[in-house]
Structure 1
Amino acid sequence: MRHTGEDATHTSDTTSGEPVVRVRPAWTALLSLATLAVFMAFMTPIQILLPLQLEHIDPAGKHTALSWVTGAGALVAMVANPLAGALSDRTVSRFGRRRPWILGGALAGAAGLLVTAGQHTVLGVALGWCLAQAGLNAMLAGVTTPIADRVPVAQRAEVSGWTGITQSLGLVIGAVVTTMAVTGVASGYATIALLTVVLALPFVLRFGEPPLPRELRPPLDPRRLVAGLWVSPRRHPDFGGAWLTRFLINLGNAMGTLYLLYYLTDSVRLDDPDTGVLVLTLIYTLCAALTAVPVGVLSDRAGRRKGFVRLCAVVMALGAVLLACVHTWPAAMAAAAVLGAGFGIYLAVDQALVTQVLPAAEHRAKDLGVINIANSGPQVLAPAVAAPVIAHLGGYTGLYLATALVTLLGGLLIGKVRGVR
């Protein structure tokens, strides 16, 4: 891992205060590639590999099994992400604070995916997926913090737009790989594991970061470290408001996407639901890409974030209502386009917004890890909410109407954030 003179000139890393030097396109591109790796490793199993694997293990109980496995993994993520972030803030390696966690997390996550691939019971799959989640969340803590470390506020929504696209693009690439390039669930896991490491390497090897001086390292006291994982919403209301908004919008997204394969199979009755998921993901990602970066540029120029969050909530709710009311393949494609456009808006401005409400610069990775609980937490709650709705409150119609309501509530609560326009 090297730190070139070019890197030092065109990027900046601060442990206090805000960066002021704009990052170059190459830096954004390689960070986006590393972010693509982690989201490909997260989303491909959740959307494709785990449902197929669990359907083969327990066809009659596939809904419940998927809920248990994804819920257990999300619980691990809720602990691993902020803990890895807190340790990253304290890392004094000569390779910097973030890069060791990006590479180490990628390797551990890949190992977890390989373990998951070899399981033949629901419990074994759950344990393997928990191992993968622990490693991948350590990697996520490393790839999300450089935006706060190095990108000036006036450039953050644009950079967040580029990195945000990879959340959906990761699933597209993963779906192409697992449905077209390889055959079988085990080979799908193995290929995703390999790509996770390979795609993380360019950013790790190309862009260095100055090491944290030992005198600036927060004390490594286990009790203080654990206590620091709690960020009081009373003392930091903007942080709390941003967290709650992200949680609700991601809860709506998780409720709407967790059972997508089963929705196409059982409600739309599509002949080839696996390919259907891929097509919907392509549409979703294309529309997200068309909105994310342009909206990011507009947000940076206007210096405004909250209005765009409200807009994304309305657009995503409309897409969910369409899925609720019309159970046809053309309607599903139209809904994917609307949902993608709305989520693209969200991806651009949300990450920029949360980096502006972090309580302390020296704890950025830990605080972003706490924020990221609002990504993983909904994966725990969504199955607990979605499964009873499907069973007792209107099936998929009830599920997607609930998705719309939760998303709209998230958009409304962005008003609790006072320190960002």
Structure 2
Amino acid sequence: MTTARGPAALAEPTEPVGRGWTAALSLANGAVWVGWFGPLQILLASQAGDFAPGSGMTKETMLAWVTGVGAVVSLVANPFFGALSDRTTARRGRRTPWIVAGAAGGALSLLLLADAGGPWTMTLGWCLVQLTLNAAFAAVTAAVPDRVPRRQRGTVGGWLGAAQILGVVGGTGLATAAGGVRAGYAACAVCTVAGVLPYVLGYGDPRLAKEDRPGWSWRSFLSGFWLSPRRFPDLGWAWLTRFLINLGNSLVLLYLLYYLRDGLHRPDPGRGVLILTAVNSLTLVATVVVGGVWSDRVGRRKPFVVWSGVLMAVATAALAVRQTWPATVVAAAVLGVGFGVFTSVDFALMTDVLPTALDRGKDLGVINVANALPQVAAPALAAPIVTHLGGYRVLYLVAAATGLAGAVLVGRIRGTD
């Protein structure tokens, strides 16, 4: 186990990280995504289908409300816990205590969600899952700029992205194969805790000396969450790019189970979701590390983000034009290629535009709002589109236009190539 003290916590890293450190952090990242996507892809939709009759809401509307409220919690929790980790002076470092607390709390919250008896307890349970797992995710993400030099961040981001997708597939697979909602939640909870142990037990974080900790006041703490786009324009454009591309992707994924059931009339839509997730994940994993390594070698980020966003928009538009099962499988594969490159290179791009070393966790948490906010916006946009404004065809056209706008705006970032 390695630890660093004092100024090393705030220094720009120069020593490359090893494969063991990268593998352990990637596994921890994947474990968090298991805890998120087992519920999000399968279990919450199943519970909404069970609770909707007699509630006065359709299953689509109930799922939209639950995921939307949970996303609001995520939107606040990620930068909040990132800021707390920035100020943590524990012996094990700034990030590790929050990874431990977040993973343990996430597992308990998943077990609580498994026993939900109605829409209100389901909403409460999902909010607790979002709160706790975001504490772990904020710390995992901030460990990269803490420890990884700029020339290696595309590669490390690629492995984190690969782990993320394996977590999505693993969570979906556990939820599908477990044999029921309760068993699915229990399996995801166990996997979430087990996945963070190698990093927690094997590696320490740079320790922040107490004299380096900034002065505390609620006013300064809360005001620090506002990162002015006028003062930090590159950060602002990078944030908007991530938001739009993730919003387009969220619009595609949100009602996937219902699209297969009600739009394509698949006899086993849950299995269909698993197949599409697997296809998407295979192509994503095939490109996520390659894209990150390639961007490190050429020393450029923006072209990779632009063309990955364009590719995803084209695939989504094609899905809107031809709504068949084979076309859906092809679209899932192409989306995986685009999102794979985007995931690794966009992460490296974000770490390149961070304003200060002291606030890495908080600033990355603010940037990660661009991941959570689409989960709020997507249900608000998708529900009326599907039910009143043209159905799934219009939904996918809107998703394609949104993602394309994000790809175009990458060109506004000036401080990095």
TM-score range, shorter chain: over 0.9
Deviation of the 1:222 alpha carbon: 1.7
Answer yes or no: is the 8 Å Cα contact 2:9–2:207 preserved in 1: no
Answer yes or no: is the 8 Å Cα contact 2:90–2:207 preserved in 1: yes
Amino acid at match of 1:216: D
Q: Which runs of 5+ in 2 are unaligned?
A: none
Q: State yes or no: 1:408 paired with 2:404.
A: yes
Q: Which runs of 5+ in 1 are unaligned?
A: none
Partner of 1:211: 207
Query: TM-score, structure 2 length as denominator?
Result: 0.97
Partner of 1:392: 388
210, 221, 227: which one aligns with 1:231: 227
Q: State yes or no: 1:354 paired with 2:357.
A: no
Work out the CA distance in 2 between the residues paired with 1:151 and 1:137. 21
Partner of 1:97: 94
Partner of 1:251: 247
Deviation of the 1:16 alpha carbon: 3.2
In structure 2, relative to structure 1, the CA distance for the partners of 1:128 and 1:185 (3 Å cut) is same
Work out the CA distance in 2 between the residues paired with 1:322 and 1:415. 25
Moved over 3 A (4+): 11-17
Partner of 2:71: 74
Q: Equivalent residues in 2 for 1:124-143 (5 A)?
A: 124-143=121-140
Q: State yes or no: 1:56 paired with 2:50.
A: yes
Partner of 1:41: 35
Work out the CA distance in 1 between the residues paired with 2:245 and 2:394. 17
Work out the CA distance in 1 between the residues paired with 2:172 and 2:60. 20
Work out the CA distance in 1 between the residues paired with 2:352 and 2:206. 22
Amino acid at match of 2:84: L
Amino acid at match of 1:310: V
103, 109, 125: which one aligns with 1:112: 109
Deviations 1:330-389 (A, max 9, x none): 111101000000000101101100001111111000000000100000000000011111
Answer yes or no: is the 8 Å Cα contact 1:12–1:149 preserved in 2: no
Partner of 1:222: 218
Tell me the SS of whatever aligns to 2:353: coil
Work out the CA distance in 2 between the residues paired with 1:91 and 1:310. 37
Partner of 2:168: 171
Work out the CA distance in 2 between the residues paired with 1:268 and 1:43. 23
Work out the CA distance in 2 between the residues paired with 1:22 and 1:77. 31
Query: TM-score, structure 1 length as denominator?
Result: 0.96
**Identity within the alignment, %:** 51
Work out the CA distance in 1 between the residues paired with 2:395 and 2:179. 32
Q: State yes or no: 1:317 paired with 2:294.
A: no
Tell me the SS of whatever aligns to 1:242: helix
Deviation of the 1:109 alpha carbon: 1.2
Partner of 1:371: 367
Work out the CA distance in 2 between the residues paired with 1:175 and 1:46. 8
In structure 2, relative to structure 1, the CA distance for the partners of 1:64 and 1:214 (3 Å cut) is same
Answer yes or no: is the 8 Å Cα contact 1:12–1:21 preserved in 2: no
Answer yes or no: is the 8 Å Cα contact 1:157–1:352 preserved in 2: yes
Amino acid at match of 2:398: A
What's the RMSD between the two structures over aligned residues?
1.5
Amino acid at match of 1:240: G
Amino acid at match of 2:185: Y
Deviation of the 1:322 alpha carbon: 2.1
Deviation of the 1:105 alpha carbon: 0.4
Tell me the SS of whatever aligns to 1:37: helix
Deviation of the 1:17 alpha carbon: 4.0
Amino acid at match of 1:49: L
Work out the CA distance in 1 between the residues paired with 2:216 and 2:36. 30
Amino acid at match of 1:44: G
Deviation larger for 388-397 or 287-296: 388-397
Amino acid at match of 1:55: G
Partner of 1:21: 15
Work out the CA distance in 1 between the residues paired with 2:8 and 2:141. 15
Work out the CA distance in 2 between the residues paired with 1:347 and 1:296. 9
Answer yes or no: is the 8 Å Cα contact 1:245–1:414 preserved in 2: yes
Deviation of the 1:96 alpha carbon: 0.4
Amino acid at match of 2:155: E
Work out the CA distance in 2 between the residues paired with 1:134 and 1:273. 29
Deviations 1:196-233 (A, max 9, x none): 01101110110112321000012232221111111111
Amino acid at match of 2:311: V
